[in-house]
Amino acid sequence: MVIAVYPGSFDPITNGHLDLVERGARLCDRLIVAVLENESKQPLFTVAERMEMLREAVRDYANVEVGSFDGLLVDYARQKGATAIVRGIRAISDYEHELQMALMNRRLCPSVETVFLMSSEAYSFISSRIVKELIRLGGNLTGLVPPSVEVRLRNRVLKGV
């Protein structure tokens, strides 16, 4: 059984993330979408809220589950029995950072391989940071995030809920 971990902050989840979930889920028997507990990033949503949004967004994928971790990703992957880490690459600027992380993870745990998936063209420009900035400026999020996430974003950013 091939188990893979797709880690990220997912603050919030975007349609680009979901594209990688769908494609990553086809490559393994079990895909764990894992929310990084990193409060130093000053997230808009709590880990519990992000996990809830993810569960709603991936509920149609039978082999996808949602989890969270803090500390080293490779320790979490080992704990879950994963042999792969799925990471997305949108642009060459992502590659440089992701390569560093993949090489360090390989050094720490050679039995866990990093698999890079190129973003689909339709989502290559989307990031959580851009989505949050767009909502703050009153922009249209149609096609960028799931509708339920858009509602939560509007409530949090525009209404302070």
* Active-site residue identified among 23, 80, 90, 156: 90
pLDDT tens, residue by residue, 63-86? 999 999 999 999 999 999 999 999
The domain that holds 43 is classified in CATH as 3.40.50.620
Say whether 17 is catalytic: yes
118-148 burial: b if 16+ Cβ within 10 Å, else e: ebeeebbebbbeebbebbeeeeebeebbbee
Q: How many domains does the chain have?
A: 1
Asked if residue 30 lies in contact with residue 1, where contact means CB atoms within 8 angstroms, the answer is yes
Q: State the Rg of the chain over Cα.
A: 15
Say whether 41 is catalytic: yes
pLDDT score recorded for residue 91 = 85
pLDDT score recorded for residue 161 = 60
pLDDT at residue 144 greater than cutoff 90: yes
pLDDT at residue 111 greater than cutoff 90: yes
Say whether 159 is catalytic: no
Mean pLDDT of 79-99: 93
pLDDT score recorded for residue 94 = 86
DSSP at 29: S
Q: Which domain holds residue 24?
A: 3-158
* Active-site residue identified among 17, 50, 87, 152: 17
First to last CA, the chain: 42
Say whether 128 is catalytic: yes
Structure pTM?
0.94
* Active-site residue identified among 9, 68, 119, 128: 128
